[in-house]
Structure formats: structure tokens, C-alpha cells
Amino acid sequence: MSDTLGTRLAKVLPKSTTFHVHHLSTPPTKCEPLCSPPPNERPDRTYCEKHFLCVSIDRPVGTGEVKNKQVLILGVEVFIFTTARATTIFVSKADSTGYLHILNLPKGTPSPIREVCATFVNFLVDTRRRKDVQLVISLFARAQDQYLFPGSVKNKGKHVLDDRGLVKWWCRVLDPILGHRIGGYLVVPGHDAHETKAFLPKGSTRWTTDHPLEKISHYTKEFDWVPPRCLIPKYPDDPKSRFRDELDDEATRTKSFRLTGNWKSVKTLDTFWEMMAFRQECSSGRLTGFVWIVFDDEAQDDTKKNSVLPTPNVSSTEQPQAPETPKKSRTLSNVAVNTTPRKLFTSKTMAGAVPASATKKTSKKQKKKKKKLTGIVIARAPRIKTAAKNYEPKAPSHTAHYAWNEEGRGERIVREADYKRMVELLLHLDFSTLDKAAASTSRWTGEVGMGASFGYGVVGTREIPTGTNDANPSDPSTNDLNGLVKRKRAESGAGSEVNTLGAGVIRKKPKPEETAAPAVNTLSAGLVRKKPKKD
């Protein structure tokens, strides 16, 4: 965890190749909870921390002077949702411009795009992991021509993966994270378990073709039965979140929805995933994959406990305790859906809350009469709002709901409103050509840096094994003609020789005596034409 993001990226990037890293983040701010609480229950207090990582490279220097030297090649957006019980790292968007080919990396070089994405996610895991607090990585893979860089689809060097290729790509990116107590889950709506296994990396045994929504929810540990809508998290721009909102609108007017929180048409999670296969995002020839990586911290060994962040301290003298989960009285499978709501969710009066009649009396006593304002109205002096270039957040680094370490923050920390403005600016630029992409890169880094330099250079240190043919093609000692030599069919007649040619590479020089006495060509009768006589 002592390694910075720059040192980690240097270990996986090609040797002697310079990349520029631009890391933007926000402090944890309070947001809406990911999952809806059951009836008569308070929602989880949730905080969201946003990260935006961009990587750029230098343009090749030609004969003329290049005005804009850097060009963006990759952008990744990650949201970190934290509560007192769990930490969720949600990969929102990832896109490339297709201009990585201008580096002319040797053949066999591992993809820097994949290495940067895997290293960045791993970096956030190590800097946000808390002791005895569950951590989950979540994303959905849906292929599009362009996500973050407008016009980049017009670049012929951009390789756009299809739906199947993108799901496989993300599984390969996250596969190295899996360990002994870490499991991966993949759900592809419309595909059974056998078909889903085709998307997983070959030889990997830590993947499951199912969802972990019941496992990662703390409501299933507190109650005998939980409505499906309370187990489905609501991420931004997520297909299953939009489907959940439609089901909520459909069941809002029903009485059972207000009492039990259950939908009208979808009663179980299995039905929810079956109907997801008929959604527009997952049908009509399209394919969407939902991926989870679940870290199990409940039974970890001593070696892994040392690498996990300690329990956060609000102050130096007091250490808050995480809320305890009540024990279950029955298993989830033994409880029917139509159980009495009182047995499912305890009311506030049963939990020792103040009765409603008492609250009404106290509220009447606390109300005071409003005083009438009299006198001369004095206008307040206008305040001039100035934006500080170096924003210093006042949020504490450790609370009971999140851990915001200094080593895990971005190079530039901005407010929530400024973050949205900077991302929106990127979505209005043009990356269709190399010159336009370089100009857009210069404008975006200048706006985010507010006149100062934004980004730092990283020189790769990873050795790239190259073959003999890729090392120096012009060196004749590296040419191997084995397997290219073909035997020419022998000609009929005495004195004919057999020439061995290397697929048109080697040609035999004719002998002088052969050129001195050429053979007589015999033409067939059909090829001889008689010249007409002139009168």
C-alpha cells in the first residue's frame, strides 16, 4: 500500500516508454443509498467518492514544430460507495481513443490499456479496504463505439470490441485480483450457466456463473425474508437500475408494495434476471454482462489482516464501533413471500421507539410563535464568489462510514460540481483526428489544471520479451528460411537440375554455357500463322 499509483503503473508499462497520468477525484460526499431499505427501516448512510483517470502519450516529433504534444489514449471513471458495513467500487465508464498505435510498440507487448485499468482498480482496492468491512467490485460490460471521447470512432486505429469480446476483456482484467477468499461472479442475461462459462478466462476456478446480491446485502442477515428490490443496487446509468425504477413505478399504487416492499410482477431475483434478458439493453442482438468481485473479510487469515486498513478512528481518544447485525431466526429459503409483514420487519414501537402520541405532544410544546419583523429593511452587501485553484476539503480522512487516505486521492481534488463540469467538458470535445485529439487534450488538461500543469509523467520499466524477427528486421542474421524452402518439380530430360527455392527468396543464377546455347523452341502447328501476300 506504500506504492503510489505512478510507481505501480511504471511496473506494468513498457520499458523506456513515457506516459502521462491525469488523476482527478472528489472527497466523499453524502449521497442516496444504493439499495432501498425494507419497510419501517432507515436507509444506510452512504458516501460517494468519484475518480477520473486519464492517460496521454507524446506525439512523434516530425520535421515541423508540434504545437500540442500530448494526446489522450484512455479514460476510466470509477465511483466508490461506502457505508458502515460495505465498500463498493463501481467502474462506471472506460474508453480509449485509438491513438496508442503512434507509439509503435513491438509485437508481443501486453496491452497498456488493460494493464492501466487493472492496476488502477487494484490501487483503489488497496487504499479503500477496511478491516472486517466487506468490499465489492461491480461493473456492467456493454459495448459502444465511444463513451468518453466524442468522434474517436472515426479514428481507424481504434479497435472497438463487440459485446462478447468486451465481457471477456473485463473478466481477463479482473481475473488476477481473485485469490483464495475472493470470488468472481458473472451474469449474462439470456445465457445459461454453460453458455456463460465461455466468457470466463480459461483455467480460472474462482468464477461463478451467478449473482452475489443476497450474499453482499446485510439485510439478508437481519431478516428472514427481504424483497428483491432491497437487494438490487442502483448505480448510475445501469440497465438493471432502470428496470428497477420501472418496477417501482408499476407497484407504487398497490397496498402490498407499501406494506412489504414487494413488486407486483416480479417476486424473486430469478424472475428479475429472466425478465432482464428481454430488456432492450440485453436483447435485439445485444449482450450485457454484469460482473462482481467479492472480498470475503469475515474469515481471513492473519497474513491478509496486515494488508487491510485498520478500523477508522473519529478522534484520537474514541474509536467507533461498527453496527452489529442481529442474528437470524430462520433461513431465507424457509420463509414464504407472503409472510405477515410484522414478522418480517419490526416496527418502531416494538424496537423501543417513542410512541406517536408522545411525539405529537412534545412537538406542540416546542412550537413558538413567529415574531413580526418591523423597522427599516437593510440590504446586505453582495458577495463576490471566487473559485480557489487549490481546493482544500474539510472532510475528515477517517469516519465510521468511509476511509479517505491521502495516498488514495487524486492528483487534483475538486468539488462535486466542478467534477461534473470537467467531465462534461470532455464529452463536448473532438477526437476524430490526431490533430483535433491533441488540441482537445491540451484544452481539457488546461481547464482542469486551471492554468497550471496537470498530470505527471510515468516511464515504464517492464521488460518486453520480443522475438528475433521483431528485434531487427533489417539484420540478415535474424532471417530464418526454415520451412519456407520448397522443392521444385524436376523437369524431364537429361541434364536437368532441381532448384530449391525459399518461397521466391532465393533464385539460381543461370550458367554461362546455358546462356550461350539456348534451346530451340518448337511451336505447335496451331500457333504458326501465314503472312498474307501483297498484290
Active site residues: 238
Mapped onto helix, strand or coil, the DSSP state of residue 303 is: helix
Q: Cα separations (Å) of 470 from 53, 257, 321?
A: 32, 65, 59
Helix, strand, coil abundance in the chain, percent, nearest 5? 30, 15, 55
Residue 213 φ then ψ, to 5°: -60, -35
Distance CA 34, CA 101 (A): 40
Max CA separation in the chain (angstroms): 138
- Three state DSSP letters for 187-256: ECCCCCHHHHHHHCCCCCCCEECCCCHHHHCCHHHHCCCCCHHHCCCCCCCCHHHHHHHHHHHHHCCCHH
Distance CA 49, CA 24 (A): 11
C-alpha cell at 255: 397496498
Beta strands (DSSP E) in 307-413 are: 412-413
Contact of 95 with 152, CB cutoff 8 Å: yes
C-alpha cell at 250: 408499476
Distance CA 104, CA 526 (A): 58
What b-and-e string marks burial along 160-176, b requiring 16 or more CB atoms within 10 Å of the CB?
Answer: eeebeebbbbbbbbbbe
Nearest CA among 183, 244, 190, 254 for reference residue 216: 183
